[in-house]
Amino acid sequence: MTILPTPQPISDPDVALLASISAAIMTDYIDPASDPWVGSPFAWIKTRPSRQVGAIGEQLVADWCAAKGLDVLRTGDAEADRIINGKQVEVKFSTLWAGGNYVFQQIRDQRYDIVVMLGLSPFMASCWVVPKAILRELPLKPGLSYQHGGRLGRDTMWLQFHSTNPPDWLNMTVKTTLITWSTSSTKTPSTSCSTTLTGSPSPN
């Protein structure tokens, strides 16, 4: 884990003056209405290359679950991202796209039990925990589509929806800032995977 340096106090009065002027004129150049990430604690994620964003999402989910007392392990293979409370978990991560959409990409047919989809907005996070079997049901549920063309592309899907209007089948889950889930059977509907923001892991 990278440790960011602690911000240093400014002792030079001229530098301090420039800093105060900079803060005062910032809104002349940055419009929060056109850039909703201004001031967000998650804004730095938007500066990272796309190849890192998925790993950041995995670590956010893993570290949050660990902080809540869930048992989190690495899988040791490429079939799933983590083992959480004994379940093989695939993590999908999306920051808010232009237009207000979440887009969860590369949902592949691999060996995992559940998918954790973390959607991150400037000042809000939402998470849906869905058994793999529900995502693979045919016909595809609203919002899901095959990401690549051709017969061979049908093992990879993506899910797109407006952040304020998830499809009805996802609305079966409780929308919270973040959620944990029970360790019940993957055949259980995704509603059973929900618990409250500050609650402990759901009972089996």
Degrees, nearest 5: CA angle 158-74-148: 20
CATH of residue 48's domain is 3.40.1350
pLDDT for the residue 183: 35
pLDDT at res. 48: 93
Q: What domain range includes position 68? A: 36-193
Rounded to an integer, what distance in angstroms lies between the CA atom of residue 72 and that of residue 105? 23
Bond before 139 cis per omega within 30 degrees: yes
Instruction: Give every CB contact of residue 162 below 8 A, 6+ residues apart in sequence.
Output: 99, 100, 101, 102
pLDDT at 153: 65
What does pLDDT average to in each consecutive run of 10 residues of the chain (204 residues)? 61 84 81 81 92 94 92 92 94 94 94 93 91 90 84 81 91 47 38 31 34
Q: Which 3 state secondary structure label does DSSP give 170?
A: helix
Q: Is residue 82 situated within a structural domain?
A: yes
DSSP letters, 40-80, are -TTGGGGGS-HHHHHHHHHHHHHHHHHHTT--EEE-SSSS-
Residue 129 in domain: yes
Task: Report if residue 162 sits inside a domain.
Answer: yes
Query: What's the domain count of the chain?
Result: 1
Q: Tell me whether residue 69 is in a domain.
A: yes
* Residue 7 pLDDT: 62
So what's the pLDDT on residue 5? 56
pLDDT computed for residue 173 by the predictor: 52
Please tell me the predicted confidence (pLDDT) of residue 12: 80
Instruction: Answer whether residue 7 is part of any domain.
Output: no
pLDDT at 186: 37
Q: What is the pTM of this model?
A: 0.75
Neighbours of 49 (CB within 10 A): 6
